[in-house]
Amino acid sequence: MKRVTFAVPGDLDTPTGGYAYDRRVIEELRKLGWSVDVLDLGEGFPYPSAATLEAATQRLLALGDTSTIIDGLAFGILADAARNMRAKPIALVHHPLALETGVSPEYGAIFAASEREALTVCRAVIVTSPATARSLVETYGVSKESIAVAEPGVDRRPVARRVDKAEIALLSVGAVSPRKGYDVLVRALAKLRTLPWRLTIAGTLDRNPECAADLRKLISERSLNDRIALTGSVSHDALNALYDSADVFVLASHYEGYGMVITEAIAAGLPIVATTGGAIPDTVPSGTGILVPPGNDVALADALRKLIEDRELRLTMSRNAEAAAEHLPTWEGCAVRIANVLERLS
């Protein structure tokens, strides 16, 4: 049987997009006949303790000749381990660590240097979007020939029949962290307090408790506690229900390596308001949304105003999203592209 080790930092069930990608790829590879061993590299990445880093290194060195994919959240700071592994690993890069919003200049420089070194010794690089591929070529000097793009899939689903409501239901999905730009979104919505809207933010509050506390404080300062709900992590079924009850999906991220929640929203037939950060322009099909520069609360407010006030625009973009959903990538196709990399290197 074809065999691969998939090395992930910490709990594979962590409720974020990167881990969701890993889980589905592992599931689909197994359906394709691969034996996939999951290797836990420990908690705390990309800021692991010295003990965790040493333990992760030893686990990787013990793999011998096994083909190994290492998730980029850990891979970027495991250059020494990657260099000394008997079978050089395959990197899975969702987005470069150095581009994470909120990273200090000191850590940004450390991450960039470590990622660059690690990427020079891996056998191949799997990325989740053409935008990330371009970033690795232009910023890190990775050869185009060594990169394979395996865009995330999306599960097909029936589109809910939406009815007119007194208030427009806005939905944003993703872990509360600086990169997601929720503070920008709150400031934008504070400019629209005379319009009929409610916002639900669905995503873990535990990944960055300080950021979550700051967000709660900002919501309170802008007197929006009764209009913005923070759900924390939600189940798959609960998230689907939120997509079904929403009227507009909004993503204020400063940067996305792909933006899986956008394709989920498109599959749900939702019009999109998002930024141009990272791969987002490649992910949002033409005619399905409005894109604005990241970090610009004025532009974000203007885009939201258009969709809140214009029912016909919402309906048009919703119909366009339904049509675009027919052409979204599948998880099986994503896994096939990764399997092709593994077979080519075997």
Per-residue pLDDT at 115 = 95
pLDDT one-digit tens code per residue, 210-234: 999 999 999 999 999 999 999 999 9
Measured CA distances, 176 to 6, 76, 182, 212 (Å): 26, 22, 7, 6
DSSP-assigned states of every residue in 275-344: E-STTHHHHS-TTSEEEE-TT-HHHHHHHHHHHHH-HHHHHHHHHHHHHHHTT---HHHHHHHHHHHHHH
Query: Taking the domains of the chain in order of start, what are their residue ranges?
Result: 2-153+329-345, 168-325
pLDDT score at 22: 98
Q: For position 330, what pLDDT does the model report? A: 97
pLDDT, position 144: 96
158 versus 272: the higher-pLDDT residue is 272
The answer to whether residue 102 scores a pLDDT higher than 80 is no
One fold for 2-153+329-345 and 168-325: yes
pLDDT of residue 270: 98
List the single range of 94-108, 249-263, 266-280 with lowest mean pLDDT: 94-108
> Which pLDDT score, from 0 to 100, does residue 346 have?
84
Q: What is the pLDDT of residue 229?
A: 99
Question: Which homologous superfamily is 2-153+329-345 in?
Answer: Glycogen Phosphorylase B; (3.40.50.2000)
Structure confidence at residue 71 (pLDDT): 98
pLDDT of residue 162: 78
Query: CATH assignment of 168-325?
Result: 3.40.50.2000
Q: What is the mean pLDDT of the chain?
A: 96
* Residue 101 confidence (pLDDT) above 80: no
Secondary structure (3-state) at 128: coil
Tens-place pLDDT, residues 159-191: 887 778 889 999 999 999 999 999 999 999 999
Helix (H) or strand (E) holding 173: strand 168-173
Residue 198 has pLDDT above 90, yes or no: yes
| Strands 147-149 and 168-173, bridge-based pairing | unpaired
- Whether residue 48 is predicted with pLDDT greater than 90 in this model: the reply is yes
- Residue 278: pLDDT band with limits 50, 70, 90: very high
